[in-house]
Structure 1
Amino acid sequence: MFQQILVPLDGSACSEQALVLAARLARAVDGTLYLLRIANQEYTYASTSVAGVFVPADLAEMTDLEMKGDHAYLDKIASSPLLAGLNVVKEVRAELAIPDAILNFITSHHMEIVVMGSHGRGGLARLVLGSVAQKIAWNSPIPVLVHRVQKPEQDEQVSELATPIHALVPLDGSPQAEEAIVPVGLLVAALSGAGVGSLHLVQIIKPSAHHTDEQHGQAREEAERYLQDLAGRLRGGLASTFQLEIKFSVYSDEQVAPTLVHIAASGDGAAAPHNLIAMTTSGRGGKRRFIMGSVAEHILQKTPLPVLLIKPDETSEQRKDS
């Protein structure tokens, strides 16, 4: 798994920081890096017959100079010391719908993971990786590893991502949320090398004004039994196979997403300080459950840690609901 690694680039230093994680993963699994440049340049615009509405000119009008510049950019990246010795494939695509272009590339080239920065260069001519990363993560059929850089000095944090890897895995008791466990387990094992990585399974119980203290206590006990059983199954399977340590914790808090960001930063309850968060983009809602999609969005915006996002299998949920 993770042999085919896609890294979308927009020409900004911020987007290129994803290469640190991607290169580390490629070396760990002897994989191939696919560097994808969406050549969404500042095309000449021509008006349509509808007043006030403008559409891009034919993509074929992109000049040879522009295309050569994009290829030269990828050549420079591919020849950098960071990627020395790796198998690298370079692709330049002329597209307007950037997320669709990336998603189509994922499918047509059988990618297995996307590694990308969450902010790049803005403007008409460049990827706005903050929004693009979210669109890709919420629609990608494969895991998406997103690194969000808030400050320039955080580049150092990425390059020094500790070994082994200790991942925070938020859960809500649903099978959909559990679909993050196998991908993050494989990723942690690959990036941890000879070290023993860990998964910290966390469930937040959100208090409800409609429940008594006794009912809230029962909800906590239910969550603890659920995580204990899940951890036991993982220790006898995935964790044993890939030498992973499994921890679990239950918390009570009204603010689910900020609490998870705090836990990730503090390392509370983990085998070691967290350096990765992994979760699905949807799960189960309800009075005592959190909606994974909104929580994932908040975490992606607020944490400086890399976030592995997995879109759960919709067909299994549809069969369950039918």
Structure 2
Amino acid sequence: MFQRIFVPLDGSRRAEQAIGIAAHLAAAAHGSVLLFQAVDLQPERWPVFFRSQQVLEAATFTAVAQAQAYLEQQARDSALTGLPVEARARAGKAASTILREIEATQADLLVLACHGPNPWAVGSVTAQLIRHAPVPLLIWREDSPSLSQADMQTRRRWRLLAPLDGSLWARAALEPAVALMQALATQAEISVHLLRVVVPVPVQGEQEGARWLLQQRLRQAEESLSQAGKELERLWRRSAATVQPPALTWSVAVDPDVVHAIGQVAHPDEPFPGRDGTGTPDLLLLSAWGSNEADQRRLGSVAERLLQLVSLPILLVPTRALIQILHGAAQAPPQMGQ
């Protein structure tokens, strides 16, 4: 997995920072990197007397050529030395053009360094990508730690926080998480913490019944996390990885607000439970699924709020990517010992 890594650029220094991590992941997986820029001249904003077809075509040709030259310059970045790199500029609306090219080039990971006061605002390019991308996205926020090639090479430990809700969709997100961890594990130790949040359900006038119900839900949550841990270990073995498997821990939190509980673990006053007992999470895994278009636009209320509140880098697996993972799992023949 992650053999063809797609990096959309917009000419900003912040967006260019995604090149370092894309290079690191591509080198680990013996993959390639595609640098891409969508050129949108927004002719609808031009004065009416400039909107002739001839003027538009000439301006578009010039802008695409300039974008192509910029991308080819970025392709000579030292971080990409020795890697297969393609630079491609296309004319069109940014989000729709990027989504179209992801499919046309058969990319399997989108690395995005977002910027701006509110990159998740409805209608923004970032918001459209995270809602409609057919592949997982590795998102570095403006307030996330640096992701230069030097930072990637010198880091010796990565900790992944994976909140799960017990659904098949959430479990499916473990597959790209394993692919990411294996790429990171070539030079660093990996630990994974699985988290399940149980929301207490009040039972009116039945305190004893409420306690019994909570205990039942806690036992179910623990069993679900145990199964998820086994699934993660199975995926690691299936990939025939030569690197050490991650240190795996899990915990159950009781909180009426799922986002609050996850945030407490993502940005705790005390380190999250782990085998080494040091540090806070470095990466957050999120699956965002919906059974209809409205749900997909919302990304699910939990994922939506976490994107707004958590400053960690995020591996986000959107609905279309989850569907492809589950479809592939259904089509795959059973393997011995599984």
Distance 1:220 1:274, change over 3 A: same
TM-score, with normalisation over the residues of structure 1? 0.81
- Deviation string for 1:41-78 (max 9, x for gaps)? 35474689xxxxxx976552425442332122212211
Which stretch shows the higher mean deviation, 253-262 or 1-10? 253-262
Equivalent position amino acid for 1:169 in 2: A
Decide which of 261, 278, 282 is 1:275's aligned counterpart. Answer: 282
Cα 1:199–1:82 change in 2 (3 A) is same
Q: Which residue of 2 aligns with 1:52?
A: none
Match of 2:136 among 137, 140, 143: 143
Give me the whole-angstrom Cα distance separating, in 2, the residues matched to 1:229 and 1:32: 34
Q: Any idea what SS the aligned residue of 1:202 has?
A: strand
- Offset, 1:215: 1.2
Cα offset for 1:184? 0.3
Q: 1:121 to 1:74 in 2, by over 3 A?
A: farther
Letter in 2 for 1:160: D
Instruction: State the identity as a percent.
Output: 28
Aligned counterpart, 1:288: none
Q: Distance in 2 between matches of 1:44 and 1:296?
A: 34
* More moved, 195-204 vs 232-241: 232-241
Residue by residue over 1:192-234, the C-alpha shift from the partner in whole angstroms, topping out at 9 and shown as x without a partner, is 2154422211111112334712211221121012112332343
Query: How far apart in 2 are the matches of 1:129 and 1:31?
Result: 33
Provide the C-alpha distance between the structure 1 equivalents of 2:323 and 2:165, rounded to a whole number of angstroms: 17
Gaps in structure 1 of 5+ consecutive residues: 49-54, 123-127, 285-290, 318-322
Counterpart for residue 100 of structure 2: 104
Instruction: Pick closer, same or farther for the CA change 1:100–1:130 going to 2, 3 Å.
Output: closer
Amino acid corresponding to residue 105 of structure 2 in structure 1 = H
Check conservation: 1:280, 1:293, Cα contact below 8 A: no
Q: What per-residue deviation string (whole Å, max 9, x for no partner) do you get for residues 146-199 of structure 1?
A: 111137xx4368963533432111110100111110110111111121544222
> Which letter does structure 2 place at the counterpart of 1:269?
P
Give the alignment of 1:55-74 within 5 angstroms: 58=53, 60-74=57-71
Letter aligned with residue 142 of structure 2: V
SS at match of 2:229: helix
Verify the 8 A CA contact 1:15 1:120 in the aligned structure 2. Answer: no
Q: State the partner residue of 1:287.
A: none
Moved more, 67-76 or 166-175: 67-76
**Contact conserved, 1:176 with 1:283, CA < 8 A, in 2?**
no
Q: What is the alpha-carbon root mean square deviation over aligned residues?
A: 3.2
- Please state if 1:92 is matched with 2:83: no
CA contact (8 A) 2:17 2:148 kept: no
8 Å contact from structure 2 (residues 199, 258) kept in 1: yes
C-alpha change, 1:309 and 1:13, in structure 2 (3 Å) is same
Aligned match of 2:309: 302
What's the secondary structure of 1:212's corresponding residue? Answer: helix
Quick check: 1:7–1:35 contact (8 Å CA) kept in 2? Answer: yes
What secondary structure is seen at the aligned counterpart in 1 of 2:127?
Answer: helix
Q: With structure 2 as the length reference, what TM-score do the two structures score?
A: 0.77
With over 3 angstroms needed to count, the CA separation of the structure-2 counterparts of 1:69 and 1:138, relative to structure 1, is same
The equivalent residue for 2:257 is: 255
TM-fit CA distance, 1:132: 2.1
CA–CA distance in structure 1, aligned partners of residues 148 and 225 of structure 2: 31
1: CA distance, partners of 2:117 / 2:70: 15
C-alpha distance after superposition, 1:113-144 (max 9, x if no partner): 1001222599xxxxx99932232122222111
- Confirm whether residue 209 of structure 1 aligns to residue 207 of structure 2: no
Deviation string, structure 1 residues 282-303 (Cα, Å, up to 9, x no partner): 279xxxxxx9722222222222
1:155 matched to 2:142? The reply is: no
Taking a change above 3 Å as real, the CA distance of residues 206 and 245 of structure 1, as seen in their structure-2 partners, is same
Count of residue correspondences:
298
Letter in 2 for 1:297: E
Tell me, which stretches of 5 or more residues in structure 2 are unaligned?
A: 204-208, 292-297, 328-338
Q: Counterpart of 2:142 in 1: which secondary structure?
A: coil
How far apart in 2 are the matches of 1:113 and 1:9? 15
Between the aligned partners of 1:44 and 1:61, the Cα distance in structure 2 is: 16
Change (3 A) 1:160 1:255: farther
Q: Give the C-alpha shift of residue 269 in structure 1.
A: 1.6
- 8 Å contact kept, 2:26–2:33: yes
Within 1, Cα distance between the matches of 2:52 and 2:199?
Answer: 52
Q: Secondary structure at the match of 2:112?
A: strand
Partner residue, 1:222: 220
Q: CA deviation at 1:38?
A: 0.7
Q: Give the 5 Å matches for 1:110-189.
A: 110-119=106-115, 131-150=124-143, 154-155=145-146, 160-161=151-152, 162-189=155-182
